[in-house]
Amino acid sequence: MSLQAAKRELRKCADKKKAVLLRGFFKTGPGEYGQGDVFLGVTVPCARKVAKEFQGLSLAGVAGLLKSPVHEERLLALLILIRQFLKAGEDKQRRIYEFYLRHTRFINNWDLVDLSSGHIVGMYLLDKEKQPLYRLAKSASLWERRIAMVATMAFIKHKKLDDTFAIAEMLLSDSHDLIHKATGWMLREAGKRDARRLESFLRRHLRVMPRTMLRYAIEKFPEPKRRLFLCW
């Protein structure tokens, strides 16, 4: 089972027309957040099939994929890591978690963060000290800040909401739209578990919360209540 074989299998799914669309969707133009990212035009379901076939790839092989300039090869690396993490014992999970945090500079688009951070970082820290997330939330890296926020999805699923609200509060003044969206999304998910707590958080921070963050957070509110929050 080799790195090159995984790359060859992934390329069987490539679609040039889809690649053009993906380059626009993931903002790869000059000055955009995905500047220079290379796309093959591989769908996520196809990448998942390849990940299943190559789930036994070594961490060195996964690193080779993760360091690739090709977006879908980095995607494949993360899908393999998730499969390995789910089947691993405690020691291997720790090594995968630490590997992930050492390679965050390659987890550098919103889809890569969103599909992986909860499954690896969030699940690993579920019953452990959460301080690593607070360090990530203070990072100069857009993607590390998004990892910090989206990783809390694992906590939300287990009805542990404190860290979601705490990290959201840290990111209220963040300047990037992708952080506004991620934070609003996690607040919305937390609100599904505790609507009163979400409303209390919104009332406290309404005047400083970015508009995009607010819109994402209240997306599932009944229309009259949603309009009320938008008018405040």
In contact, 51 and 22? CB cutoff 8 Å: no
Phi, psi of 34 (to 5 degrees): -105, 25
Tokens in use for 197?
């707590």
Q: pTM score, two decimals?
A: 0.94
What confidence tens digit (pLDDT) does each residue in 174-218 have?
A: 999 999 999 999 999 999 999 999 999 999 999 899 999 999 999
The residues near 231 (Cβ < 8 Å, ≥ 6 apart) are: none
Q: Are 108 and 151 in contact (CB under 8 A)?
A: no
**Distance separating alpha carbons of residues 116 and 105, to the nearest angstrom:** 14
pLDDT in tens, 10-39: 999 999 999 999 988 888 888 888 888 999
User: Which residue in 105, 109, 191, 114 sits closest to 156, CA to CA?
Assistant: 191
User: Are the C-beta atoms of 221 and 229 separated by less than 8 Å?
Assistant: yes
